[in-house]
Amino acid sequence: MVEPASLKTFEIERQPSVTDQVFELLYRQVVELQLLPGSKLSEVEVARQMGVSRQPVRDAFYRLSQQGFLLIRPQRATVVTHISEQGVLQARFIRTALEMETVRAAAGRLTEQQIGQLRHLAERQSEALDAGDKMRFHELDDEFHRQICVFSGHEFAWTLIRESKAHMDRVRYLSLSFGARSAFDDHLDIMAALEAGDGEKAAAHMRHHLSRLLSIISRVRETHGQYFASE
């Protein structure tokens, strides 16, 4: 009987594909409202502007449509969706249910190194806040929540969250002009509970943090009603 070969293990660092790069650029432009709701997009024109072939653009369009950012219409232009208030509230429900559990689980198993990583993220977010860099703040906000999911041992939860939160992302971005400081302070409260190993308090702070969206959405709709869908 032939013994199986013993292979040396190694890690491959995955570089972003062309599709990944197109996706991330379009994602940023939609969230930052450089591409406004109702804007029409053409695969051919996007490919030309980005200097890539149509296939990665088509793949990126599909991923964005799965997240709720684009409406792909056969034989017609692809359109940036309007913000769905119902979609925002559904995403908040999913996030609250999942993230209360992940932060509760994380509190009981965080290492000093992981706590240090979360502290570092908080420091970088503070710097983005002071610099008025809203997109950077938004990205670091996501990373803070993603890392808690990872550290809890339930990284898959963040995949589920990201797939459902497209409409929420634009509301969150619009709210940063008045709500970034409160969001950051909430992160500090969550951090303190995690460092203390208090899962119940961390979960309560997470619930409070995500519940802010209920008042934020009304305020954003008052000033940017044209971006919302009629439901």
What are the structural domain ranges in the chain?
18-80, 85-227
Homologous superfamily (CATH) for 85-227: GntR ligand-binding domain-like (1.20.120.530)
Q: Report residue 193 as tokens.
A: 């509970």
Residue of 229, 186, 228, 188 whose CA lies nearest to 211: 186
pTM, two decimal places: 0.85
Residue 114 reports pLDDT greater than 50 = yes
Contact 88, 172 (CB under 8 A): no
The yes-or-no answer to whether 18-80 and 85-227 have a common fold is no
Share of the chain above pLDDT 90, in %: 86
Strand 78-80, strand 70-71: pairing: antiparallel
Using CA atoms, how far apart are residues 7 and 80, in angstroms rounded to an integer? 48
Residues 170-216: tens digit of each pLDDT: 999 999 999 999 999 999 999 999 999 999 999 999 999 999 999 99
Using CA atoms, how far apart are residues 174 and 162, in angstroms rounded to an integer? 18
pLDDT grade for 14, boundaries at 50, 70 and 90: low
Per-residue confidence (pLDDT) for residue 103, from 0 to 100:
98
Per-residue confidence (pLDDT) for residue 90, from 0 to 100:
94
Contact 179, 187 (CB under 8 A): no
Per-residue confidence (pLDDT) for residue 100, from 0 to 100:
98
Using CA atoms, how far apart are residues 191 and 119, in angstroms rounded to an integer? 8
Residue 228 reports pLDDT greater than 90 = yes
Per-residue confidence (pLDDT) for residue 10, from 0 to 100:
43
pLDDT grade for 3, boundaries at 50, 70 and 90: low
Residue 12 reports pLDDT greater than 90 = no
Residues 144-168: tens digit of each pLDDT: 999 999 999 999 999 999 888 888 9
Per-residue confidence (pLDDT) for residue 74, from 0 to 100:
82
Sign of CA dihedral 15, 126, 28, 116: positive
CA-CA distances (angstroms) from residue 2 to 6, 7, 8? 12, 15, 18
Residues 78-113: tens digit of each pLDDT: 999 999 999 999 999 999 999 999 999 999 899 999
DSSP string, the chain: -PPPP-PPP----PPPPHHHHHHHHHHHHHHTTSS-TT-EE-HHHHHHHHT--HHHHHHHHHHHHHTTSEE--TTS-EEEPPBPHHHHHHHHHHHHHHHHHHHHHHHTT--HHHHHHHHHHHHHHHHHHHHT-HHHHHHHHHHHHHHHHHHHT-THHHHHHHHH-HHHHHHHHHHHHHHHHHHHHHHHHHHHHHHTT-HHHHHHHHHHHHHTHHHHHHHHHHH-GGGB---
Arithmetic mean of pLDDT, 210-231: 93
Residue 5 reports pLDDT greater than 80 = no
Q: Which CATH number fits domain 18-80: 1.20.58.220, 3.40.50.300, 1.10.10.10, 1.20.1600.10?
A: 1.10.10.10
Residue 143 reports pLDDT greater than 60 = yes
Per-residue confidence (pLDDT) for residue 173, from 0 to 100:
94
**What is the overall mean pLDDT for the chain?**
92
Arithmetic mean of pLDDT, 42-50: 93
